[in-house]
A and B are shown apart, each in its own frame.
Chain A
Amino acid sequence: MKLSILVNEGPYQHQSADTAIQFTKAALERGHEIFRVFFYHDGVNNGTRFAVPPQDDRNITEQWTALAKEHDLDLVICIAAAQRRGILDENEAKRQGKDGHNMADGFRISGLGQLIEAGIQADRLVIFGD
């Protein structure tokens, strides 16, 4: 089956990012296709490359990056939610006149239309949030 995932909360604050990662891994192990993982609300904070969690704990952003790389996943960060919360890729930072960007590898910024498309094209949309 084709599955789309929506992550509504940031890493660490809520368990939703962790559950989403575990679910995504399990789905891939079972041979399902992940059409897209979309990050909305505070979920966009999963995409910051500046997180430095304690060494003895998981690095959620890096887990997403690794999963994306290994399985060619489409990790999409909502631009409107990202702008509000200061998650910017290089292009967006330039556009907005900011002196740096903070988007992690494996993520891309796009519009809410990508969430709707994820709902239309997949067989199931699973939402993780608070």
Chain B
Amino acid sequence: MAEPWEDDELEGPVRKFMYVNRRAPYGTIYALESLEVVLIAAAFEQDVTLVFMDDGVYQIKKEQNTEAIGVKNFSPTYRALEGYDVEKLYVEKESLESRGLTTEDLVVPVQVVNKDQLAELMEEQEVILSF
């Protein structure tokens, strides 16, 4: 018998969900716990868009090595997102450039959008969770 927290997949409407990641990894838990939301949410087969902006772009930076800080490196998990049918990944151009990064620095393929395109994309959503 399923535990009370093992939710069954919900039958019902498909809504456009956007998860907005704005914070750097490790300094706070938001990056990790927002990823956990995205992974669980995959079971609900909604129309999911993932956005990395502001310091959130650092979440998907390559070559993270957390051994010396004694914290689990969860960046490989972003590569598993495709397997969860989370394929719409966007990065904000201004956030990337102001941090001296390019898409070559990232662990997953992303689509780069500028702030105005991102604003329009946000308006298209039905539910926005900003972490």
Contact = CB atoms under 8 A, between A and B. Distances in A.
Interface in A109-127: 109-117, 119-121, 125, 127
Say whether chain B's binding surface is mostly helix, strand, loop, or mixed: mixed
A41 B7 contact: no
B5 A79 contact: yes
A91 B129 CA distance: 30
Contact of A116 (B5, B6, B30, B40): B40
A78 to B, nearest CB: 9
Nearest to A111: B5
A127 B37 contact: no
A121 B40 CA distance: 17
The DSSP consensus for interface residues of chain A is helix
Contact of B7 (A40, A111, A121): A111
Given A41-B30, A79-B5, A119-B127, A112 B46 contact: no
B112 interface: no
Given A112-B36, A112-B41, A125-B129, A117 B7 contact: yes
A81 B33 contact: yes
Nearest to A125: B127
A121 B36 CA distance: 20
A5 interface: no
B58 interface: no
A97 B37 CA distance: 27
Given A120-B15, A125-B127, A40 B10 contact: no
A80 interface: yes
A94 B40 CA distance: 25
Given A113-B44, A116-B41, A6 B129 contact: yes
A97 to B, nearest CB: 16
A79 B5 CA distance: 7
Contacts of A79: 5
26 contacts: A40-B33, A41-B33, A79-B5, A81-B33, A91-B4, A108-B4, A109-B5, A110-B5, A111-B5, A113-B7, A113-B10, A113-B44, A114-B7, A115-B37, A116-B10, A116-B44, A117-B10, A119-B15, A120-B13, A120-B44, A121-B12, A125-B127, A125-B128, A125-B129, A127-B129, A127-B130
Interface of A: 6, 40-41, 79-81, 91, 108-117, 119-121, 125, 127
Interface of B: 4-7, 10, 12-13, 15, 17, 29-30, 33, 36-37, 40-41, 43-44, 46, 127-130
